[in-house]
Amino acid sequence: MSDNAMKQPVAGSIGAAITIGLSLVISIGFEPRFFGSWVAFLAMSIVPTQIIIGLVWNNRYPGVLARLGQPARGIAILGLLVAAGSVIAPATLVLVGGGITPPTPFLNMYIILSIVATFWLVAVFQCWPSSAISSHPAALGLGTLMLSYLSAWVVFQSGFDFGAMKGAPFYHEHLDPRGAFPAWNILSYAITTVAVIMGLVLLEFWPIAAIVSRKPAFSAQPYFGLIATAIVLSVAGVVWAAGVGLSGMDTVDYLVRIPVSFIFGTFILLTLFQTAPFQKLAQPAKGCALIVGSALLALLTYGLYRFVSINAFGNIQAGPPAYDLDLWIATAMLSITFPLIVAYAEGFAFWPLKNDGDSH
């Protein structure tokens, strides 16, 4: 990093103020129901592609991206995301949403599930099985992207049941997969698994990495992914059962307050602060400190987004049947702020706070 580069945690603090402030301005600019349907759907349609560009291609593929300076690279990445969204959004609207507008909870839950699947394939399985077929960036990234949408569709069709929502205006019987679990239950559990995965990322997959280091054969995929899967599903099950079963929290309230807010806190520490101020700690102390920090940020940011929503829309209601306040908070956090954070910190590499050649 060059001498005149803005260092952490100052860069992260300014980046958080910029991205969170901008996202809140955007979020209160829409009527809540429109925000929760069209805005959420269109914003989430680009997130799996954004994950592939950032985590798989390191914002340097296609090759022209690596040759661009800032802000040209960030703008080019935004162009790629818009191009991807212009294909994915109408395709899923027709194939999963039945072409019904505005987008229904059927479609939005599937889109959320596609993001969950992308995190699983990239973070846990390191792009396997695409990586077993080809190491070429295009095959690796696009193969994983397509598998994310396919695996999300399989889970959606087999696992989601919207029968409890039959009386709702959006309900269309032919779009209900009639899967094995109530839709809100399985969605909240699926997002809890992402929260656990993010906790493992903060721990740099300790203790799994320590275990497989003694058995190097298990460090290869899919063995590493299968070991991680067993841990993630188990821990997520305990967390979900404690939050919804033992404490008696409403499922949607639990979803927003616990896994969604925690995931949001991890994004802030990992992406904006680049683990500052805990970079020099060894694992597992580093990961534990980051997990605690993420939990504290979850409390603070949940309170902030709730405060802004209530003050912007005085009559917005929490809880069933519509969950307007709860879903506004979740959408503003993960559908609007998360893509902005990734675009600013990764796509634009903190430009202009950091120089083009600065390391991240």
pLDDT tens digit sequence for 94-136: 999 999 999 999 999 999 999 999 999 999 999 999 999 999 9
Give residue 359's pLDDT band: very low, low, confident or very high (50, 70, 90): very low
Beta bridge mates, 9: none
pLDDT tens digits for 53-67?
999 999 999 999 999
Where are the extended beta strands (E) located within 179-337? 181-182
Q: How much is the pLDDT for 24?
A: 97
pTM as predicted:
0.95
181 close to 187: Cβ distance less than 8 angstroms: no
Is residue 209 exposed (0-12), middle (13-18) or buried (19+ Cβ within 10 Å)? Answer: middle
pLDDT in tens, 129-181: 999 999 999 999 999 999 999 999 999 999 999 999 998 889 999 999 999 99
Average pLDDT of the chain is 94
pLDDT at residue 77 greater than cutoff 50: yes
**Number of neighbours of residue 13 by Cβ within 10 angstroms:** 14
In the chain, where the domains are located: 11-347
The answer for residues whose C-beta is within 8 angstroms of residue 168's C-beta and 6 or more apart is 321
- Which residue did the predictor score with more confidence, 68 or 321? 68
